[in-house]
Amino acid sequence: MTHMIWTSGLLHIIVLGGFIFLNMLWTRPVSSTGRQTYYVNLVTLPAPPEKQQARLVDGPYKVVSRKEAAAPQQEASMALKRTPRLVSEEPNKGPVTSPSFETDMSGVRLDVKEFEFPYYLGVIQRKIQQHFVVPRMPGVKQLEAIVYFKIDRKGRIHHIILERESRHPVFDLTAQRALDSSNPLPPLPDTYEEDYLGVHFAFEYNP
Amino acid sequence: MKIFVYNLYKCLTVFLLILSFGLVGVSQAQDEVRLRIQARITPKISIAFKPFVEKTGTRLHAAIRDTINQVLVRDMKVSGVFAVRDLSVKLTDEAGESVAAFLDESGEADLSLLRKLSVQIMVSGTFEVRESQIEMNLKLTDVVTQRKITEKGYAAFDLTLRRVIHRVADDIVLQMTGERGVAQTRMVFTSQRTGAPELFVADYDGYNIRQLTNDRARKYSPNWSPDGTKIVYTSYRDGPHELYILDLQTGETHKVPFGGKTTLAPRWSPGGHHLVIGLVIDGLSKLFLSGLDGADLKPLITSYGINISPSWSPRGDQVAYMSDRLRDKHVYVVNVDGSDDHRITFEGKYNGSPAWSPRGDRIAFVSGDTLRQETGRLERIFNIYTCDVNGGNLMKITGNNGIEGDNVNPSWSPDGLHLLFSSDRDEIGRYNLYVMSWDGTEIYRVIGDSNNRQPSWGPRP
C-alpha cells in the first residue's frame, strides 16, 4: 500500500511539474500577445512663452559660479533634470591640449578667448538636450561625463573626445550618441572669425 | 505511519497545485505592462522680432511693410522653434495692463529690457522698393552682447514676396537650429470647391491655392514625390479607380496601369524609385511594391482581410499600414521584404491611416473613440494619436478638450514638428485643413471654405 502511495505521489509530482513547465513555455512574450496595456501620463503642456520669460535678471552680464551655470538656460533646466549643460571647469585634464578660456557667459569654457555670442551656447544646448535620452538606471544616483568637441563654421561637429568618463559606459555612450544625433548644430555666427569653436560639454544624470 | 504519509502526500499535492496556479497567475499578469513616461519639454528659443522698416528716404509702402511683418512673425511662431516677442506690442503685466514699450520714439529696441526678459536673439530688418523689386535686409543680433550674428539680403517681386518672406523665416530657423524650417513647403489636398474632389496645391500656410486638376473625375489620396516635382493619386478618370502621376513641371498626367485593378492609397518611397499601393483582388485590398511605371510588382502584404493606408519609414526599410485581418482594424509594421510583420496598436477597435514621422521616431494614426450619444446611440469619433514605432508611449493629440469633431488624414511636416490634418471641428460634416504642433498644443486652420480632405505635406524645395 505504502509503495503504491509513494508511486502515486511521484507520478502526481511529475504530472504537476510537467504542467508548470508547459505553462512557462506557453507564456508568450508580452509584445506578441496583443493584450498589452499602456498607461500613459500625457505630457505637461509647455507654458506660454511669455510666462517662461517672466524671470527678471538684473544688472549687466557677469561671470557666475559653476552652480549657476545653467541660469541663462533657465527654460532648459525647468524642462528636464537630466539636462546636459555647458560647464565651467578648471582646464580639463585629458587628451585635449588646446588652452581654454572663461567667457562672459555663465560657466562656459571654450577654446577661444573672445566669444561674444552667448545665444549660440544656449541654442546648441537646446539641440543636444533634444537628443539626450538617458535610460533609467536603477541604483545609479549621479553621473557626469564631459565631452569635448569642435564645431565648424557650418555647425558640423568634429573631434568628439570623451574628456571625463562617468564610470558608467552606457551613460558615456548615450552622451556621445546625443552629439552624433545633434549633428549638425546651428552654424557659427557669420561675424565669428575663427574656423572652429571648441566646447567642453557636461552630461549629467540626476534621477 | 500510513496516515501520516497519506496526509503528507495530500499537503504536497495541494502545495504544488497552489504553486502551479500561482505561476499561471504570474504569467497572465505579465501580459499587462504598466509603463510610465516622463515629459520631455524642449524649450523654445526666446527671440525678439523688431518689425521691418522701410529705408529712410524711400516712399511709404505700408502694405508691403505689413505683409513682411505679418508673414514673418507668423512663420516664426508656427515654426515651433521660437517663443516670439513682437516688439511692436508693449510689455504687459499679468492683468494685461501695458507697463513698458520695447521700442523708443526713434524705433530703437530697449535691449536691456529684453535681457531682463531672457530674450537671446533679436530679428530686425529693413526693406526698400526699387521700381518693381522689393529688397529686404535681414539682421540677427545677440541681445546680450549686441553683436551682429548674421546679415542677409533678399530680393522679391510683388508676386513672389510671400515666398521670399518664407525663405527669410526658414533661414532664421536654420541659423538657430542647424535645420531648415518648413515655411517654403506646400501641401496638396482634395477639395470639392469646384464640384467633384479635384487636386489643389497651396503654400504651407494655406495661401496661394492653385487648382491642379479639372476633369471632374473624383480623385483621392494625393502624395508628393520626395523631390516635390510629381504627385501620385488615384482617380475614376477612365472608369476604374486607378493610379495616376501628375508632373508639376510639365503639367502632364499619365496613368500607371495595374491591369485595370482598383488601386488604393499610393505612397511614394523616400528614395523616389518605388510606390507602395493597395490593389483590390477578390474583393480584398492587398499591399504591393511597384516601380513608378507599374513594373516589378511585388507582393508585400497578401494576408486575408483589408490591408490599406501604407506609410513608409523615412529610411524606406519598413511600411506601416492598417489591416483588419483580426476583425478589428489595427496598425501594423512590416519590413519591405515582407518579414517581421507585427501589430503596434492594441487599444480600441479602429486604428488606421498611419503616418510615419520623417524623424523616424513616431507614427501618427487615427483612432475611432466610441462615444455614447445622448440618444443612446453609439457613435465613433476619430482622433489623432501618436506612438513610438513599436507602439509604446501612446499620446492622444486631438480631442483632449472634449469632442472636437473628427480629426483624420494626418500628414507630417518634413521637419517632423507639425501635423497637417483634416477636421470637421468647425462645422460637422464639413472638413477643413489644420496644422498643429507635434504634441497638439497649437492648432491653426490653414484651408477653409469648402470640403477639403486628404492633405499631403510636400517636401522642402
CB of A96 within 8 Å of a chain B CB? The answer is no
The pLDDT-based confidence of B4 (bands split at 50, 70, 90) is low
Q: Which of B23, B44, B175 sits opposite A186 (nearest CB)?
A: B175
CB of B176 within 8 Å of a chain A CB? The answer is yes
pTM above 0.80, yes or no: no
CB of A152 within 8 Å of a chain B CB? The answer is no
CB of A20 within 8 Å of a chain B CB? The answer is yes
Separation in Å, CA of B12 to nearest CA in chain A: 9
Residue B378 in this model has a pLDDT that exceeds 90: no
Residue B344 in this model has a pLDDT that exceeds 70: yes
Residue A108 in this model has a pLDDT that exceeds 80: no
Separation in Å, CA of B121 to nearest CA in chain A: 7
Top-level class of domain B186-457? mainly beta
Predicted pLDDT at A188: 96
| pLDDT tens per residue, range B199-225 | 999 999 999 999 999 999 999 999 999
- Please judge whether B394 and A38 are an interchain contact, meaning their C-beta atoms are less than 8 angstroms apart: yes
Predicted pLDDT at A134: 83
Contacts of A33 in chain B (CB under 8 A): 31
Predicted pLDDT at A57: 29
B contact residues 433-452, partner A, Cβ 8 Å cutoff: 439, 441
State the count of interchain CB pairs (< 8 A) between A and B. Answer: 198
Where is pLDDT greater, at B27 or B196? B196
Where is pLDDT greater, at B132 or B387? B387
Predicted pLDDT at A38: 37
- Domain borders along chain B are 45-177, 186-457
A10-14: average pLDDT: 81
Predicted pLDDT at A9: 77
Contacts of B34 in chain A (CB under 8 A): 37, 39
Q: Out of A151-165, B86-100, B404-418, pick the least confident.
A: B86-100
B364-387: average pLDDT: 84
Secondary structure of chain B in the HEC alphabet? CHHHHHHHHHHHHHHHHHHHHHHHHHHHHCCCCCCCCCCCCCCCEEEEECCCEECCCCCCCHHHHHHHHHHHHHHHHHCCCEEEEECCCCEECCCCCEEECCECCCCCECHHHHHHCCCCEEEEEEEEEECCEEEEEEEEEECCCCCEEEEEEEEEEHHHHHHHHHHHHHHHHHHHHCCCCCCCCEEEEEECCCCCCEEEEEECCCCCCEECCCCCCCEEEEEECCCCCEEEEEECCCCCCEEEEEECCCCCEEEECCCCCCEEEEEECCCCCEEEEEEEECCEEEEEEEECCCCCCEEEECCCCCEEEEEECCCCCEEEEEEEEECEEEEEEEECCCCCCEECCCCCCEEEEEEECCCCCEEEEEEEEEEECCCCCEEEEEEEEEEECCCCCCEECCCCCCCCCCEEEEEECCCCCEEEEEECCCCCCCCEEEEEECCCCCEEEEECCCCEEEEEECCCC
The pLDDT-based confidence of B266 (bands split at 50, 70, 90) is very high
Where is pLDDT greater, at A41 or B349? B349
- Please judge whether A36 and B85 are an interchain contact, meaning their C-beta atoms are less than 8 angstroms apart: no
Domain covering B45-177 assigned CATH 3.40.50.10070 in the classification: yes
Domains of chain A: 66-205 (3.30.1150)
Residue A107 in this model has a pLDDT that exceeds 80: no
The pLDDT-based confidence of A1 (bands split at 50, 70, 90) is low
Q: Residues 6 or more apart from B354 whose CB is under 8 A from it?
A: B309, B311, B320, B321, B322, B331, B363, B364, B365
- Please judge whether A40 and B31 are an interchain contact, meaning their C-beta atoms are less than 8 angstroms apart: no
Work out the mean pLDDT of chain B and round it to a whole number.
89
The pLDDT-based confidence of B337 (bands split at 50, 70, 90) is very high
